[in-house]
Structure 1
Amino acid sequence: MKLPFSKGTPQCELTVLNAGFYKASLHMLKKKFPKKKIWGPALFFLIKHPKQGYFLFDTGYSTRFLDVTHAFPYRILRFATPVQISKKDNAVEQLRAMNINPAEVQIILSHMHVDHVGGIHDFPTSRIIVSKKEWDFTRQSSLRLFKNFYIKELFDGIDPEQLQLIDFNGKTSYGPFPNAVDLFQDGSMILVPLPGHAVGQMGLLVNSLKGKRYFLIADSVYVRQNFRENLGGSWISKFAHYNNQEYKSLFPLLQQIEEDNLDIVMLPSHDPEIYHRYVHEKKA
C-alpha cells in the first residue's frame, strides 16, 4: 500500500503541540496496558506550507471546555474524563508565544469532538476546513450531539463564511484511499477519510522538510500499538466511537501503510509516546 510521493512536491514544516490533558486508564487505550491512571495528551499540529502559510490540524482542548462543562448535563463529561488545561496551554496562546499571528492561521478539523475543536472560537476570522459529513452531523440538537461526545456550544456560531467543507465523494484516489482531497493540488497536504471514531473524521498526510512524511491520523487509534497489534482499548472505550466496527476495521489498513512506507511517521492525537518524544523531549 504505497502512498504516492513526488520529489518535486512542496515540503512543509510540522510541529507537534499539545493543549490540555485528559485523565484515563492506560488499559482504556489498549487492553494489554496496565490499569494505571495517566494524564494523556490532546495533541494538535502546526503545519507551515512554503506557499500557503500556517495551518493547525485541530486545536486540542481549551479552557473554554471548563466553562461549558460547569453545569449539568455537560458536567458529566468532566467527571467521566477529567481535564487539566490552563490559559497558556490554549492553542491561540501557544501561537502567540511562537510569534505567529493567529489571524493568519487556517484550521483543519479532523473531527469535532471536544478535545479537537476546543479552541476554534479563538480563530474568528480563520478559514476552517472540515468534512462535510462531520459538519452535517453536528447540525443536530445539543442533547443529541452530547450522546456522541460533542458539545455544540464549543463550535456553535461559527461563521459559515469561514467554512470549507470537504466532500470526499467522487474525489481522486490516493494509494489505498478511493477518495482523497489534495488541498492545493501540489501533493503537499492530502486529506483522507478515516471514519469510525467519528462519522466524518479525516486524516492528513503532510510532507516535511526533514525528509519524512507525517500521517496525522487523529483518533483512528489512541496509540500506535492499537494498529500494530490489531488490538483496541478496553470494553468501555468502544462507547467513545460512533461505529466501533468501522473504527477497528481501520487497524489493518494503518498497519499496512506504516509497513509499506518507511518514510511515513504515524501520529495519532492521544498517544503518550508521541507526546513525550515530540512535545516533552522535542525530538524530531
Structure 2
Amino acid sequence: MRRCRVHILRAGACSHPEVMTRRDGSLKPVVFPALAALILHPEEGAILFDTGYDPAFFAATRTWPEVLYRWATPVDLPFGQAVVDQLPRFGVKPEDVTTVVVSHFHGDHVAGLHRFPNARVFCARAGLERVRQGGRFGRVRQGILAGLVPKHVDTRAAFFEDRPQVALGPDLSPFETGADLLGDGSLLAVHLPGHCPGHWGLVVREADDRTRFLIADAAWSSGQVRDDMPPPRLTTALLGDTGPYRSTLNALHRLWTRNPELVLTPSHCGEVQTDTPRGDG
C-alpha cells in the first residue's frame, strides 16, 4: 500500500442541537466543523476527500425551499477557510488537484466541488443518481442541494461501485472489502450504508504508517463511535435508513474497540486535530 501525507482541513462549521446527532444528547446547540482531507499522494499529487463548505453554499440556499437547509443548520464560514483558499499553504494550487473523492452528496460535503473543474471525481453511482431524483423540497429535506453539483460531473465521474474490490485485512474487521480507487492500494473506498444513499468512507495509509479511516457522516463525532450511540430515529429516518445506519455505527464501534490505534475521522467531529490555522476561526 502506498503511503500518503494527509492534512485535515476545517472548511466552515454549522450548529444544531446535540440531540439531533446522538439520542442521549442535550437540546443545547453544538458547533460541528465541516472537515475535508487533503491527501498528498507520491505519484497522483493532490487529492481531496470532500470539500466542506464554500461561499457557493450561501448562493445555493438563497431561494425557497433551499433556504430551509440554512435555517435548519446555521453555517459559519470565516474568510479564507474554504478549502480552495487553504491549499496554497501546502504548496498546492487549485488546478493541481487531480482528484476529488466525494463521500456523499450532502451540501456540506460538495459545496466546493465546482472549484476543481478539471479534477476526476470518485463517487457512488447511487449517490449521484439520488441528486437527480424527486423534487426540490424532497432533496433539501435529505440534505441535497442539486445546484452544488456541477452539471457535467458525469464526464469526470468514476464510480466506487465499478472499481476493483480488495480485501481490507484483519486490522479493519468487521469491514471486509474496499474499492481500490487508484489501483495501488493507497485509497480504499468502503461502503458505509445508512446515512444516505451512496455514502462511503475512505481508508488511507499515512506517511507515518498510521491507518486513517475517513468515515464521513457514519458518525457525527468520535464519541458516538466510542459509545455506540446513534442519533434518534427522527434524524436517521429523515436523511437515510435507520437500520443500516445503526449497523454501520456498531461495526465502527467494534472496529475501534479492537483496534484503538486506527485513526477514525468523522467529518464533523470537534475532537479531530486539523491543519487549519487557529487564526482562521
Asked if these proteins are the same fold (TM beyond 0.5), I'd say: yes
Distance 1:51 1:172 in 2: 21
Alignment counterpart, residue 278 of structure 1, candidates 258, 270, 274: 274
Structure 2 match to 1:162: 156
Aligned equivalent of 1:31: 23
Which residues of 2 match residues 1-284 of structure 1 at below 5 A?
Answer: 9-105=1-97, 106-143=99-136, 144-167=138-161, 171-175=165-169, 176-274=174-272, 277-279=273-275
How far apart in 1 are the matches of 2:163 and 2:185? 19
Provide, for residues 77-122 of structure 1, a one-character-per-residue CA deviation record: whole Å limited to 9, x for no partner. 1111111114512111111343311112110000000000010011
Query: By how many angstroms is 1:222 displaced?
Result: 0.8
Deviation string 1:22-61 (CA, Å, 9 cap, x unpaired) is: 0112232223333322221010111111121111000001
Q: Give the stretch that moved more between structures: 115-124 or 243-252.
A: 243-252
What is the CA–CA distance in structure 1 between the aligned matches of 2:49 and 2:243, rounded to whole Å? 25
Q: Secondary structure at the match of 1:195?
A: coil
CA-CA distance at 1:280 after TM superposition: 6.5
Structure 1 residues 41-50 or 129-138, which shifts more?
129-138
1:223 is aligned with what amino acid? Answer: S
Check conservation: 1:170, 1:179, Cα contact below 8 A: no
In structure 2, relative to structure 1, the CA distance for the partners of 1:45 and 1:248 (3 Å cut) is same
**8 Å Cα contact 1:241-1:247 kept in structure 2:** no
Partner Cα separation in structure 2 for residue 194 and residue 61 of structure 1: 22
SS at match of 1:116: helix
Q: Classify 1:265/1:219 alpha carbon distance in 2 versus 1 (closer, same or farther; 3 Å).
A: same
| Identity between Structure 1 and Structure 2 (%) | 29
User: Partners of 2:276 and 2:90 in 1: how far apart?
Assistant: 16
Between 112-121 and 224-233, report the one with greater CA deviation. 224-233
For the 8 Å contact 1:169–1:179, the answer to whether it is kept is no
Aligned amino acid, residue 154 of structure 2: P
Task: Calculate the TM-score normalised by the size of structure 2.
Answer: 0.89
Distance change >3 Å, CA 205–CA 174, structure 1 → 2: same
* More divergent stretch after superposition (249-258 vs 133-142): 133-142
Q: Structure 1: how far apart are the matches of 2:44 and 2:259?
A: 26
Say how many residue pairs are matched.
272
Give the superposed CA RMSD: 2.1
Q: Which moved more, 1:253-262 or 1:60-69?
A: 253-262
Structure 1 residues not aligned, in runs of 5+: 1-8
8 Å contact from structure 2 (residues 124, 159) kept in 1? yes
- Inter-partner Cα distance in structure 1 for 2:260 and 2:162: 27
Does the CA-based 8 Å contact 2:165-2:180 persist in structure 1? no
Cα deviation, 1:194-229, whole Å, max 9, x if unaligned, reads 111011111101101123110000000111222322
